[in-house]
Structure 1
Amino acid sequence: MAPRPFAQWGVDLLGPFPPGPGQVKYLIVAIDYYTKWVEAEPLASISSANCQKFMWRQVVTRTSPPQSSTDETPFGLTYGVDTVILVEVGEPSPRLLLGGGNKAVKKDLIDETRQMAHLTETAIKQMIALRYNGKVLKRSLGEGDLVLRRNDIRLPTPGEGKLAANWEGPYRVREVLGKGAYKLESLDGSEVPRTWNMANLKWFYS
C-alpha cells in the first residue's frame, strides 16, 4: 500500500495499436497507487529516452515546480507538503538540507498558503483582464441600425455547404436589450427569431 499521494507509481506500456496521427502506435501509462491519478501519452516508438521524457513531463513537472500564477506547487497546495523525488531520499538535496523539507511539512500553514496563492492568482487574472480590455474596442448598436449577422451559427444553407457566405443580411435592429444583446427584424418589418449578440453582428454599410 502506498503511504501517501504520489509516493509510488505504476508504469505500463501498451501496444502496438493501429497507427494514428503522427504514426503513434504505443501508449505509455502511469498511475499513482494512492490517488489513482492516471497520466498517459501516445508514442511512435518505445525507448528509454521516451519513457524518461514522459515521466519528467507528465509526472515530475506537474507536481514539483512552482506555478507562476500562485508561486506554489500544485502538490503542495493539495496535500500541504512538497514532493520529494527518490534521489533526495537517498542523498539529501540542498533544498532539504537548507530547511525546505521542514518548512514544507508544516501543515498548519497550508490554509494560509492556499489563501495567499488564491489572492496571487486573482491579482494576475485581473491584471491580464485589464491589459486585454484596454485593447478591446467596444461596439454598440442603436435601434434602426443596419447590420449583418453571422451565417455559421445556425443550420447551413441547403445546397451551399462551405461556399455559403459568412455573413447574411442586412437586418435592422429592432430593440436594444442591453449587455450586447439585440432583437433584429428584416427590412420588411418581420421579426427575426431569438436574440443576437454583438459578437455575431457587424455594421452594414450601404
Structure 2
Amino acid sequence: MWGMDIVGKLPRAPGNRVYMLVMTDNFSKWIEAEAMTEVKEAQDDTKGGNGTYAIQPGIRAEAVIPSEDLVPIHRYGCQTAEQNQIEMTRSLDTVDELRESAYIRMASYKQSVARTYNKNVNVRTLAVGGLVLQRVFENTKNHKADKFAYKWEGPYQVESIVKNGAYRLMTMQGQILHRPWNIRHLKQYFV
C-alpha cells in the first residue's frame, strides 16, 4: 500500500515546477518524490474540512509517478484485476517470511552494534574486604578548598556486595555507610 501526498505551492524550480508529488510505501517506508508543473483536480472531488481534496469512493485511479513511465516496474505487469488478485494473494502468503527475515536482520544489526559498543568496556569488580576510595561530590566537598582539593576520600573497606556494581562500604573504624555506592564512584585503593 502506498501513501500519496501533493506538496505545494513551492518556490519555482527549473522547468516551472512548483508542486511535488510524494509517495511512500507503507511497508518498506521507501519514499519517492517527483517535481510537477501543475496539479489538476478531478471534477468529482470535494474539498474537505482541512483544505485538502478527498477522492470519492467511486473513482478508481492508479497513482503513477511520471518517472515510472520511462522505467517498467512490477505494477505494470499486473494490470488486470485477476492478475492483481493473484499477486496480492502471493504477497500475503509471503508477508510472514518477510517479517521474520526483517526481525532476523534487525537482531543481527543490534548484536553488531552491541559488540562494537561493548568492545571497549572494562568490567570492574571489587572483592569483599578490599580497600577503595570514594569520589568527593560537589555537595560534600569543602567549599573553602581551592582547585587542588582532594577528589577522592577514604580509604573505605568493601563490607558487602548489594547488586552488580553496587557496594556497601564501611570506614576503617568499622562504621557502615548509610547507603550503597555504585562502582562508578569508587576507585580501588592500592597500599
Instruction: Report the TM-score range of the alignment, normalised by the length of the smaller protein.
Output: 0.5 to 0.7
Show the counterpart of 1:57. Answer: none
Residues 80, 110 of structure 1: 8 Å contact kept: no
What is the aligned partner in structure 1 of residue 136 from structure 2? 151
Larger Rg: 2
When residues 5 and 192 of structure 1 are mapped into structure 2, their CA distance, relative to the original with a 3 A threshold, is: farther
Equivalence for 2:68: 92
| Aligned length, in residue pairs | 141
TM-score (norm 1): 0.49
Uncovered stretches (5+) of structure 2, i.e. residues with no partner: 13-21, 36-63, 78-86
Q: Give the letter for the 1:183 counterpart.
A: R
Report the alpha carbon displacement of residue 119 of structure 1 after superposing the two structures with TM.
Answer: 1.9
Match of 1:130 among 93, 102, 115: 115
1:110-145 deviations in Å (ceiling 9; x for gaps)? 554443223212112223333544543322111111
Task: Give the CA RMSD over aligned residues.
Answer: 4.3
Q: For the Cα contact (< 8 Å) 1:186–1:192, is it kept in 2?
A: yes
* Aligned amino acid, residue 129 of structure 1: A
Question: Greater helix percent: which structure?
Answer: 1
Q: Return the letter of the residue paired with 2:74.
A: G
Q: In structure 1, the residue corresponding to 2:104 is in which secondary structure?
A: helix
1:173: how far off?
0.4
Amino acid in the other structure paired with 2:5: A
Percent identity, aligned pairs only? 26
Q: Tell me by how many angstroms 1:178 deviates.
A: 4.2
Give TM-score, length-normalised by structure 2. 0.52
Question: Helix, strand or coil for the counterpart of 1:155?
Answer: coil
Give CA-to-partner distance per residue, 1:129-182, whole Å, 9 cap, x none.
335445433221111111122334x73535259945433322110112342221
Residue pair 1:148, 1:202 contacting (<8 A) in 2 also = yes
Structure 2 counterpart of 1:181: 166
Query: In the TM superposition, what is the alpha-carbon distance from 1:85 to its structure 2 partner?
Result: 0.8
Question: Which portions of structure 1, spanning 4 or more consecutive aligned residues, are displaced by more than 6 angstroms?
Answer: none
Q: 1:193 to 1:165 in 2, by over 3 A?
A: same
Q: Distance in 2 between matches of 1:135 and 1:124?
A: 18
Instruction: Give SS of 2:112's match.
Output: helix
